[in-house]
Chain A
Amino acid sequence: MIPMILDAAPRWALLHAPALLIMVPLFLAPLLAILPSGRLSWLTSIFATAFSLFCALILVAQVQVSTGGVVGYDVGRWPVPIGITLRVDALNSMILLLVSAIGVLATIFSWPTVKAEIPERKHPLFYSAFLVCFAGLCGVAITGDAFNLFVFLEISSISTYVLVALGAGRDRRALPAAFNYLIMGTLGASFYIIGVGFLYSATGTLNIAQIAEMLPGLAGNRSVEAGFAFIIVGLGLKAAVWPLHQWLPNAYAYSPSFVTMFLSATATKVALYALIRYLFTVFRPEFAFEQATFTYLLMPLGLAAMIACSFQAVFQTDVRRTLAYSSVAQVGYMILGISVGTMAGVSAGLFHLLNHAMIKGALFMAVAGVVLTFQGTTIRDFAGLGRTAPWTMTGFAIAGLSLIGVPLTAGFQSKLQLGYALFDQGMWWAVVFVVFSSFLAVIYMGRIMEAIFFRPPINPRKSRKEAPILLLVPLWVLALANIYFGITTELPLGLARDAAAAAFGLEAF
């Protein structure tokens, strides 16, 4: 497939794929704001995200055939110390592929929900904000410059605040949720930029690769260690690492359905990518303070997230909040994988990152379908939907089983990989936590699914049936992907392993 992509793509695309991937959505965004019609802006967004997906595919292919596994791109032909460089290796090409693929599916699915939840005159502005957010997320993933990463992080965050706040049309609680997210997100970004400042003062460069080269010579430097601490906390906040996750449940529960779905599958994932980049490429696991971070900070936090947030998920009455808490718990799995500090651990974490994007994407799409047709998200509202909306709810159930980790689903595979990575290092006690958290997942997903399939409908409005076809198709694409990648993991596991190798600065697993 790789030579096919490289043969089929035009020359200009091959040359400029890294830049085009972010520039097309970023420049189309202001254009959208002045478009007269919502439908037109929707179609343009599909085009923009699909174009980014195309570029991401080219990049994945280019990384695989390139020597050294790195595709570099100097913006404006300015060489490294002066200009900003875009740098793609197996790690971020995987993230780019994920974000853009989810972006396309999310955009296709968005139209019915946006039409129902956002006032009509705001449609073009809504899609404009979405494209900015999308470009920002891709930018975080693609850039090779520490300060530029901050810029893109802020671009994506600020547009996200807007998107979350637009949920006010449906539920006014979206406004405090957005404000809360704004404060927390800004804190996180500030911590990050302070950390970058420390690193800059110690190394004199902002290029990530150059910082990485110089750090081993700066062992014991206090400002490097302080910078590390600030960066980890800042990015941890963005990635919703427990206990810095407080912004997430409300933001997911009250924002428009489409935003919830898109953010859950991409936003925390991109922040996690940045975290991995700093933990493994810039700083290295060999550094003593980083080992200490793994053992005493990240692993306990990952475990705490898996248990505490799963418990919280069990006691929610709103399906979206259940899923939001579950997301924080799942981030805990990824953090746990990362904190093992071995290649197997990082690849398990990244593998789960991919799988979780598919799982949560599908789940939130199905919830969006329910919001659309039945205007409710409490578990009570879901009662009996298995009969009135079988297609939507079967998609939900498949993704839910995958979240639990039932065999032959993607979620099962990621648990196996994670378990292997842990047993490999003799951390059998951590597996106990994984297992216990899965058991909690059985309970919180079981509650919802029992309502869907076994309780009689109680809501009189339940005469309207399935979600619209535009919503069902992306939902089923993701649901079937959960099954397909549960049976053959060659593609995602290959990507995750290559990515983990790239994070360690190696060419292949």
Chain B
Amino acid sequence: MDRATACFISIVFWFAGSVVAAVPTTQPAGTIVGKVTAAGDVPLSEMVVYLQPTDPAAKLPPPPHPVQVSQKGARFAPALTIICVGQTVNFLNDEDKMVEHNVFSNAPAKRFDLGMYPPGQSRSVTFDKPGPVFLYCSIHRYMDGVIFVSPTPFHSRVMPDGTYRIENVPAGKWIVTTWQRRRRFKEDTEPVMVADGQPATINLELRRK
């Protein structure tokens, strides 16, 4: 395939994706808001709240667009990336000097080795299992990051004040679940019923036991 054909196909796919994203959903949907609290002065901003389906057979297509993780300055940015099952991440070596990186993970949710590649190049990984995927570089000891792969496209990073908000949740039963990057408490789960156009409030309290 020549470059012009590839470019044309990319534009068609990009346009198709934009149209799908722009079409307003006709499915009844609501919003889930709440606050996560925990004993002591713990960094709540490194936590995720996500929804699990009550029907394991539910088909929830991932967002069509890939997410990008930078490696500039020998740091993964963002340090915590939240995606959903089936979504792709582009790992771009965007260093402005000649520094190679070698991104890898040995996580049960995704084991991979991107090999060493120079600035200006990118490698892509599609994540097909839920769970945390801790990222490292085999060359640089301080490079560590994490991709949290949510089982559904409905997730939120917790704000420093503990609040979170998940929008456009299809009406029905869901399970609200927490995940902590640096786990200090047991994860919490709460069932929720989402009604069309209605906000549901689910506050979560993390405990040691």
Q: Report if A and B associate in a common complex.
A: no
